[in-house]
Chain A
Amino acid sequence: MVPITTSDRPALAGSVSPSAEPLLRIRNVAKTFGKNVVLRDVSLDIAEGEFLTILGESGSGKTTLLRIVAGFETATAGEVWMGGERLDPFPPYRRRVNTVFQHYALFPHLTVEQNVGYGLRVAELPAEEVAPRVEQALGMVKMTAYAHSKPSTISGGQQQRVALARALINRPRLLLLDEPLSALDANLRRQMQVELKSLQREVGISFVFVTHDQEEAMVMSDRIALLRSGELEQVATPREIYSHPATAYTAQFIGHTNLLRAEVKKGVARFGSISWPVQVPDGRVLFSLRPEKIRLAGASGATTGDAVPFRGTVRHQAFQGATELLQIESPDGVVLSVRIASRREWRGELEFEFSPSDAVPVRDSRERV
């Protein structure tokens, strides 16, 4: 991919790029549709070359946020800045932002080649410049052989690639992707995740990717912004958000977890008969303990001096290939999920343990109607 130049579309918003500034700044953006509040006070920065995923359930406002950046919706309040310039007063066709739509939105009356060249042709670039760039873009997504096909004659995955080429050929500073993989079957989806990520590294353009699939978010993103009912719940790297979820909602939405509502007194947390040392103030504290952080005592030799032991009876065992998911019941009647490496069937009462540092204190999630 050729580096981004600003020469071919001189009058576009967001063309000026001062260094060190984030590429995109979303400042206190709110959006209401009538009485329905979709976004409330969202602020988010996106760095140059970053792959940021906006993750959330349906109805969380993630698509609306993306559409505000693209220019298809107007924010009720707040500002969007790009490269030191206000972006939100400009219509979509004046922004150096391109979108890959959920259902690709390829023009059915144009061939693959004409679809990809659309942006350059409406910008009235000379034909001798359009042709090689279209060829290059088609090559980038391995669709050269289908240049003269109509979109209806190629598969979903191929349409996806064409949509990507059609957006990237314009050399946007920011590419928005609205659940682009949701219509693909599981295998193709995993393959496209990898392709998309490596393509992003290759072209070096910032990607803002919207999805409801937390696994997808983890695989691809530099950072994840978790959106819940129109507010950002947490913005962090996949590792950070997984291992140190800020809230109970985050802990449950990203991966599976056990939530332990413990009583903390003088540096000791007590949850039923289980107790472990902590460094949080006294009171009722919610802890997130990932199923894979619980292990069979003495099983792997990983036992450390400070491991917290407890007994549990296996109530249910689900074989999931590489791992087994156990539902165990402690003597106090608390049911916990435990993920261990697959080995054999487990029965009866067993000894389990976890490291105190793996029980992460999380904020109780805000309750909302």
Chain B
Amino acid sequence: MFSRAYKAVVTLPPLLWVTVFLLIPYLLMFCYSFWSVSAEQTIVHAWRLDNYRELLRVGVYWQTLLRSMWIAGRVTLFSLLLGYPLAYYLSFHAGKWKDLLYQLVIIPLWVSYLVRAYAWKTILGSDGVLNTLLQYVHLTKHPLEFLLYSPFAVVLTLTHIYTPFTFLPIYASLEHIPGNLVEASQDLGASPLQTFWRVIVPLSVPGVLAGATFAFVLSLGDFLAPLLLGGPSGIMISNIVVSLFGAAYNWPLGAAIAFVMMVLVVGLLFLSERLEKKWSFS
């Protein structure tokens, strides 16, 4: 259909882009993960598994990785608990307010991540909006310290930031459910609740999976929220990678951690895609 030249012109630029900006950096990172740093602060190009052994041996690395997954897991759960009902309401009950509400969900995405993170800092701090309010109405005598610089603050902020990302695919999958399936279910005697569990939920599984993957993968690799709001107890694995590549100057170890995370994320994406395929029926 199309000439060879046309095909080459169309496929070459993206191929080049992916090679130069993704494949080669990843490959470099993979190589780095086997090297080491000498006492004179130079990279030693010797191929060893020492960095990976270090990961397993030193508790702080794998414990932080596990804690990051635990934070990402909670973010995923809360994003789904917020995003699904919102998407359901918009798709089935919002009527003429649908477009407006949809925009209201989307607009925060246009606001810089940093601004939103700082906003939470202002709200949660010891002199922040929330603590001032709680003391003003005499619910608490002293500022609640766990609000800021804690895993709680990180989970809250990340949930706020990634809920639209879970909302969108769920909303899309709900919008794809033909109206006559819902009617057919009612027609066959199913109450609204039965229709929800037997028809709407199964048919929105692909959206839920996609949304959950977004929330989990994006928050697992996040380093700004823990940096700004996490404090010492809210450190996540990406913060360690950042410091290893920065002040600690141990690129090889940082690369090893980054590679482990990448394998984890790619595996997760693969699994989620398999499951989505299994649950899509169109």
Contacts and interface: CB of A to CB of B under 8 A. Distances in A.
Contacts of B190: 93, 118, 122
A70 B182 CA distance: 13
Given A101-B180, A122-B198, A108 B281 contact: yes
Given A92-B183, A122-B198, A152-B281, A109 B203 contact: yes
Nearest to A150: B281
Interface size bucket, B side?
20 to 34
Contacts of A150: 281
B205 to A, nearest CB: 8
B189 A105 contact: no
A109 B281 contact: yes
B238 to A, nearest CB: 38
A346 interface: no
Contact of A72 (B183, B198, B202, B279): B183
**For B184, B187, B282, which residue has the most chain A Cβ atoms within 10 angstroms?**
B187
A166 B281 contact: no
A103 B180 contact: yes
B187 A107 contact: no
Interface string B108-126: 0000000000000000000
B103 interface: no
Nearest to A91: B186
A108 B202 CA distance: 10
A94 B12 CA distance: 61
Contacts of A93: 186-191
Contacts, number: 68
Contact of A166 (B186, B188, B198, B203): B188
B93 to A, nearest CB: 15
Interface string B154-192: 000000000000000000000000101101111111110
B199 interface: yes
A118 B185 contact: yes
Nearest to B202: A109
A9 interface: yes
B189 A99 contact: no
Interface string B49-63: 000000000000000
Contacts of B19: none
B243 interface: no
Given A108-B281, A150-B281, A92 B187 contact: yes
**For A106, A107, A150, A167, which residue has the most chain B Cβ atoms within 10 angstroms?**
A107
Interface in B186-241: 186-191, 194, 198-199, 202-203
Given A107-B199, A108-B203, A101 B191 contact: no
A123 B184 CA distance: 14
A160 interface: no
Nearest to B279: A109
B76 to A, nearest CB: 23
Interface in A72-131: 72, 91-93, 97-99, 101-103, 105-109, 118-119, 122-123
Contacts of A118: 185, 188, 190, 198
A contacts with B: majority SS:
loop
A105 B281 contact: no
A123 B181 contact: no
A150 B280 CA distance: 12
Contacts of A103: 178, 180
B183 A170 contact: no
B189 A170 contact: yes
A69 to B, nearest CB: 11
Contacts of A119: 188-189
Interface string B246-282: 0000000000000000000000000000000001011
Interface in A45-80: 70-72
Nearest to A109: B202
B191 A105 contact: no
Contacts of B180: 101-103, 105
B181 A107 contact: yes
B85 to A, nearest CB: 21
B282 A108 contact: yes
Given A109-B203, A150-B281, A70 B187 contact: yes
A43 B188 CA distance: 26
B103 to A, nearest CB: 24
Contacts of A108: 181, 203, 281-282
Given A105-B180, A107-B199, A92 B186 contact: yes
A107 B184 CA distance: 9
A300 B203 CA distance: 65
Nearest to B177: A108
Contacts of A99: 183-184, 187
A122 B188 contact: yes
Contacts of B199: 107
A72 B181 CA distance: 12
Interface string A121-159: 011000000000000000000000000001010000000
A150 B281 CA distance: 9
B91 to A, nearest CB: 18
A167 B198 CA distance: 17
A32 to B, nearest CB: 18
A98 B189 CA distance: 9
6 contacts: A72-B183, A72-B186, A98-B188, A107-B184, A119-B189, A122-B191
Interface of B: 178, 180-181, 183-191, 194, 198-199, 202-203, 279, 281-282
Given A72-B186, A109-B279, 12 more contacts: A70-B183, A71-B187, A72-B183, A93-B188, A97-B187, A99-B183, A103-B178, A108-B203, A109-B202, A109-B203, A122-B185, A122-B188
Closest 7 CB pairs of A and B: A108-B281, A119-B188, A105-B184, A105-B180, A122-B190, A92-B186, A93-B186
